[in-house]
Structures are given as structure tokens and as C-alpha cells.
Chain A
Amino acid sequence: MEIGVYSFGDVQRDPATGKLGSTAQATRNLLEAIQLADQVGLDYFGIGEHHTYEMPASAATVVLGAAASMTKNIKLGSAVTVLSTDDPVRVYQQFATLDALSNGRAEITAGRGSSTESFPLFGHSLNDYDELFAEKLDLLLEVNEKESITWSGKFRPALNDALIVPRPDAGSLPIWLATGGNPHSSVRAALLGLPVAYAIIGGQAARFAPLADLYRRAAEQAAIPGAPVKISIASPGFIGDDAAKAKDLWWTHWHAAMSSLGAIRGFAAPQRPHFDQDANGGGALFVGSAIEIAERVVNLHRSVGHMRQFFQMDLGQLPQKDFLRSIELLGTQVKPLVDAELGIAKPQ
């Protein structure tokens, strides 16, 4: 099974001085994290597009492009690209360029995204939320199929036999459809012949097992030749040398992140018992020691059958040293334990 990391490029706080770092420093920290993830043998690193001071990863492909030249094996992707407010042609060109520079390691994960700052930033209306995503995904998939395309839609000028380059060596890029669990999205991924990326950020992770079943059975019915029927899972997670200390540390950062999100979205900040419920057993927060997290990943694999799981660790201004230690433990301890249980991931 593939194991990886994702980040929104969070700004970090110096634990000694309490001072918040700069967005530029956060960007350099992100690059350092990707390099380490490659060195410790992790399979995937994804950057999630955000546009806030706390989460400044607004230009993921620039960071991934820098990472491409400093890494050897790790796959580099988005988690997610907010496709609704971007131009699919430009998204494709950037990821195809990344693919060329990284010798075939680029992936796109397209989603609506749970944050909506990019709508006013790029002049789109939230009233077109669903329609924008559907049209842009359609264009992105077409660009991935053909190097010259003729296309017209509602939200961007028509294309007439337009050449879109560079082209990936493999002929096309892996494009994943991200979803937070709406059943219609799983069916949509299957009907489009796309692999699906589930974001499981709270509650019991195995509740996605029926969705995975729905996705696989819909893909079976759609029977699209050559379509990759694959599931990945993105979830919050953090690994420390000691399980209890890891949970105590990460609770403060997760709580800070959820409190500021709650203030924006109008939900009550979660309490410690809520965290403990989700950070143990079958819960969606994969926080603890390497042995514990490996066991929990294997258990989830037995019910969902995913081929990749990747973790968001640097929430709520987690210090860089803890982020890096967690990546190291994920690569050097969790991954070998998962491999020992499930067998080494086949190259995809």
C-alpha cells in the first residue's frame, strides 16, 4: 500500500518564542518536508490549494516543481486543486510540466475544495458552485485525452483545435476525483472512469466502506476499458515517538485549527473527549505511535480496500521539527509495518 503526506502549507509557530512564522518561511518549510518524505521512502506528497495567511499554499505546482528537482521517487500531486476557480488548460499545462520535470511523478486531484476563498479571488460566483466544477472537470479530462482539442462551454472561451503542451511521457496524467463522502460523487467518479480520493476527516473512518463498494460496483457497471478503479484516503494524522505524548501535542494543534475553522463556519469547537473518540480505534484522526497507526491503517484497509493513504500533519501551526519527525516515523516505521502486513505496494 502507498503511504504519504499532504499539507496546505501551514504557517508554523515557534514553540520557544510563540511567534508566528512568515508565509514565505512556510513555503520553504513545505519544500523541506517533501524532500524528507522522499528520503524516508514515502510514496506520495500532495499540496492542497489554499489562500489564507494560516494556509498559504496557493501555487502548489511551483512548490512541487522545485521538489521535482530535489527528489527521486515520490509522487507529487495536489490535495486538492480547486478546479472550479481555475482554468483547466492552465492547470493541465502546469502539471504536465511538473510531470516532465519529475520524470512522470505528477498527479492531479480535482475537487470542489472545502474552502471557497478562491471564488472571489479569481472572480467566480459561488452561485455556480456545482456547474463550474462539472464543466471544468469535463474540459480537464478532455485535455488529458487529446493534445489538440476543440471544445466549448459556458465559463471560458471556446477552444478550436488548440494544442495543449507539454504532453506527459505516459500519454496522460493520473487524475483523481476528490470527495468528502457524498454518494453521488462516488458514482460520478466511476462513470467518468476516474480513481477516487476520499477525504475522511472525522468520525469513524470505516463508514466509507459502503461508498467504496458503491464506487466499485458503479465502475463495474460502467465497464470503461482501461479505467483505473482505485481508492485513496486522505485523513488527518500525526506520528510521535510516544503515543500519549503524540496525542497530547497534536490535540492542541488540531483544536487550534478546528477552533479557527469553527469561528468562520459557525460550528462549536470540539472538546477533548471528541478528539479522543476520533483519535483512537476506528476514528478518522490517525494520531499516535508508529505501531498504533500502522495497525489502524491496516484495519481500515481491510474494510475500504484503499491502495494509498496520506496524512495531513502540520495543522494548527505545528512546529516544523514535529512535522519532520512525524514524516520520518511514517516513512521509516509505519510504512514498513504496513508493508509487512499487506505486502509491498506494486508500482502503479
Chain B
Amino acid sequence: MRNDDVKTIGILGAGRVGTALARRAVAAGFDVRIATSKPAADIAFLLEIMTPGAKADQAETAISAADIIILALPLSKYRALRPELFAGKIVIDAMNYWAPTDGILPEFEATSSSSEVIQAYLPDARLVRSFNHMGYHEIDEEARSPGDPDRRALALAGNDPQARRVVADFVDRLGFDPVDAGTLAASRNFAGGTPIFGAKLGRSEMQSLLEGKARALSTAGSDA
């Protein structure tokens, strides 16, 4: 898929993050469909007010129609996703594991990158982690045009280089500077507990933080 072929965005989840991303994606000219665990009719009223221009849909049809799917559901609900629907799809994981609200989930306790658990659960999805380290209201409030000195950076990581390029272009069109952090394992470098999580960073600050992290990881690896 070429970057300019991306027309339809499917968002799973209509909470704070899902609706903020939907508003930005509508503003950027995408066709946006949102699905939750409820029937489309049940969320149509909510979306009409919160995300004008986005359509309420069922998960199955939203996923099938979408060029990019965004996971914006509570992480603890990920097992409700049907892996077969995601085969070959570009999927953005915007979720974070946070035990105090998700409950203790052993599979996430055992890893420092929740996205690797999600990728293992959706083995045929072309998963890219992004948007997870920025507050939901900043997605709405801090989008800027390319070249704006106050433009914020968003890190992304995934194992499929072409999917990363497509997602980078999407991030850019939503109003942020994409910074490619590498494979999905590197997504731990912008997870909770890192200096990137929740920080307001421009592209060069983000790049230097990620490079430092990557060096620390490879040094730690060679010592082991």
C-alpha cells in the first residue's frame, strides 16, 4: 500500500483516546469509522456529538474497510478482538498497560513492551505502536502544521518497515512529527516509566532520547 492510498481509518474504542484520534483523523480528511463492543446504533448518538463526521460501525466491517486500524480500547479487553480479522492489516496500537486500572495481567507483567503481547495475539497484523505516550487531550490540542516550531513528535515502532512508513505518514497528516524508533521491541523505549512518556518533545529531542535508549539497550545486551 502506498501512503496516499490510505483513505479509511477504523478506530476500535470510543473512549477519550478513540474519540480524540477520530476528531483529528476527520479533520485531516480521512473517512473514519468507529466501533466498540456495542452495536453501532448504540454509539451513533455519542459519536454524532463527540466526533462529527465519523461513522459508527460494527468492528468486523470497520476492520474490513479500514486501511489503518487503531486499537484504542482498554488494554484489558484485548482478548475480545478476533485475530483472523486483522490478517495483513496495518494496525496502530495506542494502548498502554497500567495495572491499577487494567488489573494485574500476568502476560503484561512479564514484558516491558505491551505491544509485543498484542502482536503475539494478532500474529498476522502489521502492528505499529504509536500515540500511546501522548495524553489524549494533547492529541486534540497540540496538533500543528509541518514546520511549526512547536510541533510535537510522536514515536512509532513496529516490525514491518512498510507499515511503519504508512503510519509515519498518517502521524504527520494528523499534525505531529513521526519519529521511527525501529522494531516493536523498541516500543519499550517510549512506554510508561520512560522519560518520553507524557513529555512534550520536539523531533530532535525525541530522536536523541530514543538513540540514547537504543545504545543503552545494545550495551546491556552485549554485557549479558
Residue numbers of A with Cβ under 8 A of B are 116, 119, 125-129, 180-184, 187, 202-204, 207, 210-211, 213-214, 217-218, 221, 262, 265-268, 270-271, 273-274
Contact = CB atoms under 8 A, between A and B. Distances in A.
Interface of B: 14-16, 19, 45-46, 49-50, 76, 98-104, 135-138, 140-141, 191-200
B135 A116 contact: no
Given A126-B99, A214-B46, A218-B45, A203 B137 contact: yes
B103 A268 contact: no
A271 B50 contact: no
A119 B104 CA distance: 12
Contact of B200 (A125, A127, A218, A274): A274
Contacts of A116: 100-101
A121 to B, nearest CB: 13
Interface residue SS majority, chain A: helix
B199 A127 contact: no
Contact of B192 (A182, A183, A213, A265): A265
Scoring B14, B19, B100, B196 by chain A CB atoms within 10 A of each residue's CB, the highest score goes to B100
A204 B139 CA distance: 12
A272 B150 CA distance: 15
A165 to B, nearest CB: 35
Given A116-B100, A181-B16, A265-B98, A203 B46 contact: no
A126 B198 contact: no
B49 A213 contact: yes
A68 B197 CA distance: 43
B15 A268 contact: no
Given A187-B46, A214-B46, A268-B197, 14 more contacts: A119-B100, A126-B102, A129-B101, A181-B16, A183-B14, A183-B15, A183-B50, A203-B137, A218-B45, A265-B192, A268-B194, A268-B199, A270-B198, A273-B200
B191 to A, nearest CB: 8
Nearest to B201: A268
Nearest to B36: A184
Contacts of A125: 103
A268 to B, nearest CB: 4
Contacts of A129: 101-103
Given A126-B100, A126-B104, A183-B15, A214 B192 contact: no
A7 B195 CA distance: 29
A127 B14 contact: no
Given A183-B14, A274-B200, A203 B138 contact: yes
13 contacts: A116-B101, A126-B102, A129-B101, A184-B15, A184-B46, A187-B46, A266-B192, A266-B194, A267-B198, A267-B199, A268-B194, A268-B199, A274-B200
Contacts of A181: 16, 136-137
Contact of A202 (B104, B135, B192): B135
Nearest to A128: B103
Query: In the complex, which of the residues B15, B192, B198 has the most CB atoms of chain A within 10 Å of its own CB atom?
Result: B198
B192 A204 contact: no
A213 B45 CA distance: 12
B125 to A, nearest CB: 26
A213 B193 CA distance: 36
B137 A204 contact: yes
A217 B198 contact: no
Contacts of A211: 50
A265 B194 CA distance: 11
Contacts of B195: 268
